Homo-oligomer: A and B are copies of this chain.
Amino acid sequence: MNKKGTLIVLSGFSGVGKNTIITQVLAQRPEIYYSVSFTTRAPREGEVDGVNYNFVTREDFQRRIDRGEFLEYAEYNGNFYGTSLAVIRQKLDQGTDVLLEIEVQGAAKVLEKMPEAVSLFIVPPSFEELSRRLHARGTDSEETIQKRLAIARVEAREVKNYDYIIVNDTVEGAVEEFFAILTAERCRKDRRIHLVEGV
């Protein structure tokens, strides 16, 4: 029965610390496949093409849209982001868990097409803390930060569509919650009822 991998859809406000959590998760469980999205935005310092994102031009992105390559794609803050379906399906069929980090519009589309996915939204302990973290990151102008906070307030309305909310108070705590959810999902009745059927 049910040997398919679990698709984990992960979203969170900009600046909440998603990348740090994902890095920790993959370091502790390298067997999880991290689905690398395509984007037209410029790499930030330290970001590596093919690892953090597949960084492509707008023309390249448009060709992929035309070929129907994307499970979903969306424009966010002036840039395009897209997710390749074929690779995810293949990994899940092989029994590999797939982690997909994606913003809320994209997540909604993925969850519509793959309702069996487990969806997680990462929140800060408070919005004040989110603002503090965005400023502490020091990579964005005040204008960009205010834009991100405004987007976060809009995104907050969509959190109700997720299965779980992870609070990123400490990274260790958030990573622990991530793994606990993954373990609990494997214990769900539907995934294990075959163990007591026909006895």
Contacts and interface: CB of A to CB of B under 8 A. Distances in A.
Interface string A148-188: 00001100100110111111000000001101110111011
A165 B177 contact: no
A184 B180 contact: yes
A27 interface: no
Given A156-B199, A199-B153, A165 B180 contact: no
Contacts of A156: 196-197, 199
A189 interface: yes
A113 to B, nearest CB: 20
Secondary structure of the A contact surface, majority rule: helix
Contact of A160 (B164, B185, B189): B189
A164 B184 contact: yes
Contact of A123 (B163, B184, B195): B195
Nearest to A198: B156
- Chain A contact residues (Cβ within 8 angstroms of B): what range? 20 to 34
Interface of A: 121, 123, 127, 152-153, 156, 159-160, 162-167, 176-177, 179-181, 183-185, 187-189, 191-193, 195-197, 199
A191 B181 CA distance: 14
Contact of A183 (B153, B180, B191): B180
Given A159-B189, A164-B184, 4 more contacts: A162-B189, A165-B193, A177-B184, A180-B183
Given A183-B176, A187-B164, A159 B199 contact: no
